[in-house]
Structure 1
Amino acid sequence: MIRSRLTGLRTWGAFVLALAGGSIATAQTAQNMWPYPQTAQHSTPQQYGQYQQTAPPVQPQTGPYTVTTPPAQQPYPQAQAYTQGQTAAAYTQPQATQPVQQQPSYHVAQYQLPNYQAPAPGQRYAMKDEAQEQPESVPPPAPTAEAHSAPVQHGGGYPTTGDQPAGDCNCNQVSTGSWEGYVQAPAASYAGCNGTSCYPDCDYGGFGGASCHAGGLGGKLGADCGCPRQWFFGVYGLFMTRDNPSYHKFAASVDGTPAAYPYYPTQDTIILSTDDIEPDWQWGAEVRFGSTFGRPRNCDPCGGCCGQRPCAWEVVYWGLAEDSQMALATDILGDTDRMYGLINYAGLNYDLDGSGGGTYADRPLNDYIDYGSPVQDPTTTADDVRLLAVRVRSNFSAQNLELNFIRFPVAGCGGGCNPCCPSPLSVNALCGVRYLKMDEDLLYDAFTTPGGDPGGGWVPDAGMPSSYPGGFPDTMPNSIFHDINVDNEMVGVQFGGNINYQVGCKVTLFCDSNMGIYGNRISSFQRVWAGGAGEVSWVNSGNPVAVRSDKTDVSFLGEMRAGVGYQVSCNCRLTAAYRVIGITGVALAGEQIPTDWSSPEYVGIIDSNDSIVLHGLQTGVEWKY
């Protein structure tokens, strides 16, 4: 009886111990079922794929009952800490005798070693009888011997290294890993971009041009989403001219003896006028440079991180070389023709020898230039004077300096950046300041000789030249000079816009225009003088004739430039355009010739009611970087 009770107690004890062992195994398995490895469990570094062996608890078997011990669950290895320069250990086959069920792998959140995936947590095994079927064994992944010297970090962003495929005609970098090209129409490989041939807007605009990303100045999109500034630079050659100045007559030639005196020369007798000194085409140069600025706007519909800086500044300088024109008319003594001057110098005297009362005392200057409006009968004039030569010269030059600010774009593509198919038309706004200086000269020279007709033909006085010696030497009192210099210096604010229309992958039509109101500071200087000892003076005062005056007026300026651009590369463009600049409220040299010389105050009045048009070709090359 006692033995039977002992046997029963032993049986119950074994059963309790078996239940306790199952609880321990269950707790251990629950710990291993946490979905991510617990780094706190690592005490010493382990090789990849090495299992920690834990011996199962051994229970003594007594009595008639058979206790099945659940299989021990081995903890799966944790990702080994990896340091710089350490070589990854080889994966080894586990030595555990228990079968291991393959679990789904996962990627390490921060550090990932190629060709290795950390195993997922194990699954709990249920307690079975010895006769129950064991689970099928799945072999572990094959080991690899590849070694790595540094970890690969995934920081969230596009990689900026590696070979990139060739871009398309729009300079798009066809890549799924980075976007660093000059982009306008996105490449078809980007998400959201179809593969159709959308209307190309290839980011090919000029300075002040427009595009979806940087208004024709380009939009370099850095892979780090920094949207760096876009710098641009252009060099151009100019070939321009100006419209003809107002018409003025300078000399006439009358053949023979008029039917009656006084005689007014008709238009067919005019031999020298402003038509003979019409402005010619002149060369010039232009330089532009600037940069984008402002907070970038996200205008990238196909996967980029930023689009463009919305504004740009540019500095513009252009200048036209001085255009010089000259016309000369001469007369020969002894023929039937006689040349007459047509500028009225009433109010001025001339003393040819400067003696103040000698042989050639002060006489009206009109006598020395043989003023012919009207022509008087020379036979009734004592101490006659003949005009042997008249020369007219003109000089013109222009210099321009601007500081402009451009806003990208205000119409067209800027309305929303339609994904993959941006509008081919874009409009930018412009405002700025301009300084424009125009320098014009008009020079009238006469060469004269006194003499008379004693009945055998006209002959000069003794010691006086009988023909034009050439060059209007300023050492001879026979040379008389009238110089007019006028400067217009305009400063003002201008407003305008730039229109770009993409007609092909590399061809752009553009039209730039601006207008403004300017303050015009006008300065004028007139001087009438003679060579040698000759003296020209005011009739009323006897002072030398030199008048300097200035005036401030209001001018209006409008400019338009229309042309075509051809994109040679992503950074270089060739342009050809025609430019027209119209200016009102300016003073021109020919308009400053007074109708009379009664006083310096009258001569000093500046006529600024004229206008001028500059026009011509502009060709050049532009860079952006």
Structure 2
Amino acid sequence: MLVSRFPAALALTLSASGLFAAPINLDQPSSLEQPAATARPNYFAPEKSPAQLWRQNNHPVSLTEDAPVPPPEDKMYAEALEPGLMSSPSYDNNCPTAACFDECCQDCFCPTWFAYAGVLAMNRDRSNEVWLSNDSGNYAARVMGSEAAGMNWSAGYELRLGRHFGCSNWAWEVDYWAVRGTNEHTVTNQGLVGQLDTPLDANFQGLTYNGSNVDDYYNNAQAHRLQRSFDFYNVELNVFQDPTLYTGNYYGGNVTFGALAGFRYFKFREALDFASDPTDQVFDGSPDELHYNIDVDNNLIGAQIGMIMNYNWDRLNLYAKTKFGAYGNAISQHSIMYGGAGTAYIDNALSPNNGRLFDVSRNNKGRVSFLGEIDLGAGYQVSRHFAVNIGYRVVAVSGVALATEQIPQNFEDLDIVSSTPSNGDVILHGGYLGGTFRW
């Protein structure tokens, strides 16, 4: 009886032990099929005790391949898997500047193009005055000088177009502005002690117009008239850092700086016409009216550098811009004395220029001139696309030809007339108001 029960007990023991053994991976060769040197158990999990095994969850096994676990040394990838780091940031219309510097620029407003249009009101400094009319009975009473028709406040306009480099605050721009002014002043012989004469009569000797000496037209005249015109044109191509680009991104005071470099073309043209009428006080183009006209043209072209400083407070920014450069100046000048009866000429047998017309031109006289500019202004960001600007600008130019400097002491010496002195200075200053649109 005992012998017959032993095989049954042995079978029951072996079956029970099989319940606690880890299953063998049938897809892999068993350790019996591997060489002895490399044979090792190949299990899905390390061996566990029966108590640990029974505590495991009995969830269905996924047949899909598990994602690879990042290696420990790939720290950046592992940190990216942490909750919250993979979410995309969101920005409002005034997103942080750092976000706008991002080349992606997907979640904030990063303008690329910008355009500006505005008006100018500018004036120039007074130059050295040249006296043109006097009272022959009272030499202390200076009747009219060159500044009697000097430039007054004149209107102009400014246009600007540019583009930022991607999402940075570096940009290029083309800037054009122009200011033009004219003025006129007339004096008559009424109320004078003597006659209406000119201090230039000694200079005019030797010139003849319509059969009479020029002095006969300017001395003892009924009226003298002075007309002057002033034209300023400016074109610039600059590359610069725009510290005002992200106005409205800061809620406290913030000071930023930007560099600037570029090229400028600056044109300054000035004309003067001193006319006399010996018969009446109305200038109507009659042959007895005589005109002395001077026209000078300065064309400056060269490179410039500068700096932009901006102080920002929320939507408001205060800025200062400086520019300076050395320029080649091509100067042209034309002097002529004429009337309805023709052009005055030199009538002096002792002069080497006897018989020549007083019609002198000089083109493209070259010299080096300097130009500096300062802009002080304020801007307010009305919306993310539009801002208004108001400011004051000063432009100083040295080494230019002025009309009043072309009046010679001897009108018979045409070489002196054509020499075109060019050591004058001009300071142009005034305010501006405009708006900038960015898109």
With the shorter chain as reference, the TM-score category is 0.7 to 0.9
Q: In the aligned structure 2, how far is the partner of 1:251 from the partner of 1:399?
A: 32
Q: Determine which of 189, 206, 219 is the counterpart of 1:331.
A: 189
Aligned 8 A contact 1:32 1:75 in 2: no
Q: Determine which of 324, 327, 333 is the counterpart of 1:518.
A: 327
Q: How does 1:147-296 map to 2 (within 5 A)?
A: 158-159=87-88, 177-179=89-91, 181-184=93-96, 222=104, 224=106, 230-255=112-137, 266-268=139-141, 270-293=142-165
* Amino acid in the other structure paired with 1:498: I
Indicate whether 1:538 and 2:350 are aligned.
no
Partner of 2:18: 20
TM-score, normalising length: structure 1: 0.56
Q: In the aligned structure 2, how far is the partner of 1:608 from the partner of 1:331?
A: 35
* Amino acid in the other structure paired with 1:288: R
Residue by residue over 1:253-291, the C-alpha shift from the partner in whole angstroms, topping out at 9 and shown as x without a partner, is: 345xxxxxxxxx5232x2221232121111111122322
Alpha carbons of 1:155 and 1:542: their partners in 2 closer, same or farther (altered >3 Å)?
farther
Aligned 8 A contact 1:221 1:228 in 2: no
Indicate whether 1:398 and 2:265 are aligned.
no
What is the CA-CA distance between 1:603 and the residue it aligns to? 1.0
Q: In the aligned structure 1, how far is the partner of 2:174 from the partner of 2:63?
A: 60
Query: Does the residue aligned with 1:23 lie in a helix, a strand or coil?
Result: coil
Gaps of at least 5 residues in structure 2 are 27-41, 47-53, 69-82, 244-249, 348-352
Partner of 1:5: 3
What is the CA-CA distance between 1:319 and the residue it aligns to? 0.8
Partner of 2:315: 506
Alpha carbons of 1:25 and 1:109: their partners in 2 closer, same or farther (altered >3 Å)?
closer
Q: In the aligned structure 1, how far is the partner of 2:58 from the partner of 2:331?
A: 99
What is the CA-CA distance between 1:332 and the residue it aligns to? 6.2
Partner of 2:218: 369
Could you say which structure has the higher strand fraction? 2
Query: Does the residue aligned with 2:404 lie in a helix, a strand or coil?
Result: helix
What is the CA-CA distance between 1:608 and the residue it aligns to? 0.7
Partner of 2:173: 314
Q: In the aligned structure 1, how far is the partner of 2:420 from the partner of 2:193?
A: 40
Q: In the aligned structure 1, how far is the partner of 2:390 from the partner of 2:134?
A: 44
Q: In the aligned structure 1, how far is the partner of 2:113 from the partner of 2:388?
A: 17
Query: Does the residue aligned with 2:369 lie in a helix, a strand or coil?
Result: strand
What is the CA-CA distance between 1:328 and the residue it aligns to? 1.1
Q: In the aligned structure 2, how far is the partner of 1:365 from the partner of 1:515?
A: 45
Aligned 8 A contact 2:22 2:43 in 1: no
Indicate whether 1:340 and 2:338 are aligned.
no
Residue by residue over 1:458-505, the C-alpha shift from the partner in whole angstroms, topping out at 9 and shown as x without a partner, is: xxxxxxxxx33x2331xx320111111101110111121111123x32
Query: Does the residue aligned with 2:118 lie in a helix, a strand or coil?
Result: strand
Q: In the aligned structure 2, how far is the partner of 1:226 from the partner of 1:568?
A: 17
Q: In the aligned structure 1, how far is the partner of 2:388 from the partner of 2:425?
A: 33
Q: Determine which of 40, 50, 60 is the counterpart of 1:76.
A: 60
Residue by residue over 1:172-227, the C-alpha shift from the partner in whole angstroms, topping out at 9 and shown as x without a partner, is: xxxxx31364445xxxxxxxxxxxxxxxxxxxxxxxxxxx659xxx8587555899
Residue by residue over 1:55-112, the C-alpha shift from the partner in whole angstroms, topping out at 9 and shown as x without a partner, is: xxxxxxxxxxxxxxx899855253989xxxxxxxxxxxxxxxxxxxxxxxxxx979xx
- Overall identity of the aligned pairs, in %: 25
Query: Does the residue aligned with 1:266 lie in a helix, a strand or coil?
Result: strand
Alpha carbons of 1:564 and 1:229: their partners in 2 closer, same or farther (altered >3 Å)?
closer
Q: Determine which of 521, 543, 563 is the counterpart of 2:377.
A: 563
Residue by residue over 1:24-77, the C-alpha shift from the partner in whole angstroms, topping out at 9 and shown as x without a partner, is: 66989x97879xxxxxxxxxxxxxxxxxxxxxxxxxxxxxxxxxxx89985525
What is the CA-CA distance between 1:596 and the residue it aligns to? 1.1
Partner of 2:271: 441
Indicate whether 1:608 and 2:416 are aligned.
no
Partner of 1:428: 258
What is the CA-CA distance between 1:573 and the residue it aligns to? 2.1
Indicate whether 1:552 and 2:366 are aligned.
yes
Query: Does the residue aligned with 2:195 lie in a helix, a strand or coil?
Result: strand
Q: Report the count of equivalent residues.
A: 390
Query: Does the residue aligned with 2:426 lie in a helix, a strand or coil?
Result: strand
* Amino acid in the other structure paired with 1:367: D
Alpha carbons of 1:15 and 1:181: their partners in 2 closer, same or farther (altered >3 Å)?
same
* Amino acid in the other structure paired with 1:471: F
Gaps of at least 5 residues in structure 1 are 35-69, 82-107, 111-153, 160-176, 185-211, 256-264, 295-307, 353-361, 371-385, 410-419, 450-466
Which of these two proteins has the greater Rg computed from alpha carbons?
A: 1
Partner of 2:221: 387
What is the CA-CA distance between 1:338 and the residue it aligns to? 1.7
Q: How does 1:485-504 map to 2 (within 5 A)?
A: 485-502=295-312, 504=313
TM-score, normalising length: structure 2: 0.78
Query: Does the residue aligned with 2:15 lie in a helix, a strand or coil?
Result: helix
Structure number with the bigger relative contact order (C-alpha 8 A, sep ≥ 6) is 2
Query: Does the residue aligned with 2:164 lie in a helix, a strand or coil?
Result: strand
Alpha carbons of 1:14 and 1:446: their partners in 2 closer, same or farther (altered >3 Å)?
same
What is the CA-CA distance between 1:228 and the residue it aligns to? 5.9
What is the CA-CA distance between 1:561 and the residue it aligns to? 1.0
Aligned 8 A contact 2:208 2:346 in 1: no
What is the CA-CA distance between 1:508 and the residue it aligns to? 1.9
Aligned 8 A contact 1:519 1:554 in 2: yes
Q: In the aligned structure 2, how far is the partner of 1:72 from the partner of 1:309?
A: 57
